Amino acid sequence: MSLRLRVCSQVLAGALAAPCALIAAEPCDGAASACRQLTGRMLSETRAPANVGDTSASGYDIVLEGTSEEKTATASATWTSHDSTETYQLKLTGPLNRMTKEAVPFTLAGLPGNGSAEFTYQHILLAHSRDAEAQELLCELADRGLEDCGDNAFLDEARRPTVRDLRNEYSQASAQRKAVLCRIVGKRLCFTHDFESVQMRDAYFAMTNAPKSLALWGLTAGVSRSTFTYLTAVDLDAQEESHSNWKLGAHVGLYRPTTGYLRAGVAHLDTYRPAEATASEICQAVDGAEATRCREIVIGAPTNVRSTIASLEWRYFLPGGKVAISPSISRDLENRVTALILPVYFLGSEGGLTGGARIGWESEKEAITFAIFVGAALKVVD
Amino acid sequence: MAKNVSFKCTCPQSVGRVRVFQNAGDNNPLEVLLFLQSGTRTARLDPGAYLAIIDALGAPNTAFAIELSGGGEMKALGVTLPFDGRLSRNRKVVVA
Domain spans of chain B? 3-95
Contacts of A54 (CB under 8 A, 6+ apart): A2, A4, A63, A78, B39
Mean pLDDT, to the nearest integer, of A40-65? 38
CB contact under 8 A, B38 and A258: no
CB contact under 8 A, B13 and A380: yes
CB contact under 8 A, B42 and A57: yes
Indicate the burial class of A360 (C-beta count within 10 angstroms; 0-12, 13-18, 19 or more).
Answer: buried
Give CA–CA dist B46/B49, Å, rounded.
9
Q: Tell whether the model's pLDDT for residue A8 goes beyond 60.
A: no
**What is the reported pLDDT for A382?**
84
Q: Is B70 on the interface with A (CB under 8 A)?
A: no
CB contact under 8 A, A321 and B62: yes
Tell me: the pLDDT tens digits for A286-305? 877 778 888 888 888 888 99
Shortest distance between the Cα of A321 and any Cα of chain B, in A, equals 6
Shortest distance between the Cα of B52 and any Cα of chain A, in A, equals 8
A126 closest CA partner among A64, A228, A215, A190: A215
Provide the terminal-to-terminal Cα distance of chain B, rounded to the nearest Å. Answer: 10
Shortest distance between the Cα of A182 and any Cα of chain B, in A, equals 18
Instruction: Specify the DSSP element, H or E, that contains A116.
Output: strand A116-125
Tell me: the pLDDT tens digits for A84-123? 889 999 888 877 666 666 656 566 566 666 788 999 999 9
Q: Is A127 on the interface with B (CB under 8 A)?
A: no
Residue numbers in A near B36 (CB within 8 A): 53, 379-382
Shortest distance between the Cα of B7 and any Cα of chain A, in A, equals 10
Q: Is A314 on the interface with B (CB under 8 A)?
A: no
CB contact under 8 A, B41 and A53: yes
| C-alpha A352, offset from chain centre | 16
**What is the reported pLDDT for A108?**
58
Residue B36 has its nearest CB partner, among A83, A136, A380, at A380
Give CA angle at A280 (A276, A281), nearest 5°: 170
Shortest distance between the Cα of B61 and any Cα of chain A, in A, equals 5
**What is the reported pLDDT for A154?**
77
Residue numbers in B near A205 (CB within 8 A): 86, 88
Tell me: the pLDDT tens digits for A330-382? 999 998 999 999 999 988 766 666 789 999 999 888 889 999 988 777 888 88
Give CA–CA dist A311/A362, Å, rounded.
14
Mind listing the domains of chain A with CATH numbers? Answer: 2-124+216-226+245-271+305-375 (2.40.160), 132-208 (no CATH)
CB contact under 8 A, B32 and A84: yes
Q: What is the ipTM for the molecules in this complex?
A: 0.93
> Which residues 7-66 of B have a C-beta within 8 angstroms of A?
9-10, 12-15, 17, 19, 21, 24-29, 31-44, 51, 53, 55, 57-63
